[in-house]
Structure 1
């Protein structure tokens, strides 16, 4: 074989060796790049999953919290409605008093008040009919016996108060209507009534 052939053969052989080296190196680098990118992708995927799980947990907690609040509000509203009905029933019971009970109630209520004894009694026509003819005389005598003026009189005008009475003098009123009496007790008794109704 001539020197030229030998040289050509050596160049080709070296080229083959170099090619194999380059290919091997490229394969190693490719594997490294693939591994790096795979690791990065896995980390991102893990991060996305963690974020999704956290968001899912937060959303779930929000929904549960909102639902709990709605349930509490509905229960509270239902309780308030029941309590309201109890107080309304109390008003109806007061309005349903017969003449004797009503007369006694009005007299005792007036005698318990710190008044001068010359006020006007404001009362609706239906309730006034329940009172006996000598009601004012009896109440005024009782007031005099307590050192009061004993000069109560009925207001001449008709008043549509929903049961009970109002005492009036010089534009100042003591409101003892059934609505006012029950409403004044509401704040004080609401908690107690709720305990009685809803204690399990």
Structure 2
């Protein structure tokens, strides 16, 4: 019986040792799994933080870029309005020309053109106050044998200057058209004067 007790005791002792060994291996395996998952979680966390940083930096850059573009566009729009105002003021200043200067402008402009001399001169209401038939006759005399300009009965819907018309073809010497034609070549220079 003592052999049986010894055997039982030995089996129990072996079982106890195996139990401890199995529990130790299980604990070790558990720790390995936990450490592996913790490392994966840390890598994922680091990756997510880096991705969030990159996304926030990109988003910040886009927001700043968009804001800078908006500011630049608003500045350009404001500058454009100021330049428009300068050219509109130029037209307005030309419209304020006294009658004598206006007659000299009309006369010198017409005499500098290569025209047939039988065109109609279209004027606005203010122009009709300054230019009369006697003045047209004076221009016709200077045009010599081709001078047969006529003062049009129709009134132009422009701010100042005049239009020469013949058979539906117009030579536009309105102040608006003259300033607009000069605007392309002067706009850069005007902008430099205004904004530098």
Fold similarity call, TM over 0.5: yes
| Alignment size in residue pairs | 196
Map of 1:153 onto structure 2: 150
Q: Distance in 1 between matches of 2:47 and 2:125?
A: 80
Matches within 5 A, 1:1-200: 2-131=2-131, 134-144=134-144, 149-199=146-196
1:119 deviates by 0.8
Q: Distance in 1 between matches of 2:62 and 2:125?
A: 58
SS in 1 for 2:118: coil
1:80 deviates by 0.3
1:159 deviates by 3.0
Deviates more, 1:119-128 or 1:46-55: 119-128
Q: Distance in 1 between matches of 2:125 and 2:30?
A: 104
Contact 2:124 2:155 in 1 (8 A): yes
Give the gaps of 5 or more residues in structure 2: none
Q: Distance in 2 between matches of 1:15 and 1:133?
A: 134
SS in 1 for 2:158: coil
Q: Distance in 2 between matches of 1:19 and 1:181?
A: 106
SS in 2 for 1:134: helix
TM-score (norm 1): 0.93
TM-score (norm 2): 0.94
Q: Distance in 1 between matches of 2:154 and 2:27?
A: 110
Q: Distance in 2 between matches of 1:169 and 1:62?
A: 58
Q: Distance in 2 between matches of 1:55 and 1:149?
A: 78
Deviates more, 1:78-87 or 1:109-118: 109-118
1:132 deviates by 5.6
Contact 2:133 2:151 in 1 (8 A): no
Give the gaps of 5 or more residues in structure 1: none
Q: Distance in 2 between matches of 1:133 and 1:173?
A: 21
Deviates more, 1:61-70 or 1:8-17: 8-17
SS in 1 for 2:159: coil
Judged with a 3 Å threshold, the aligned counterparts in structure 2 of structure 1 residues 125 and 100 are, in CA distance, closer, same or farther, namely same
Query: Which whole-Å deviations, capped at 9, do the CAs of 1:100-121 have from their partners, x for residues lacking one?
Result: 1111111111112121111111
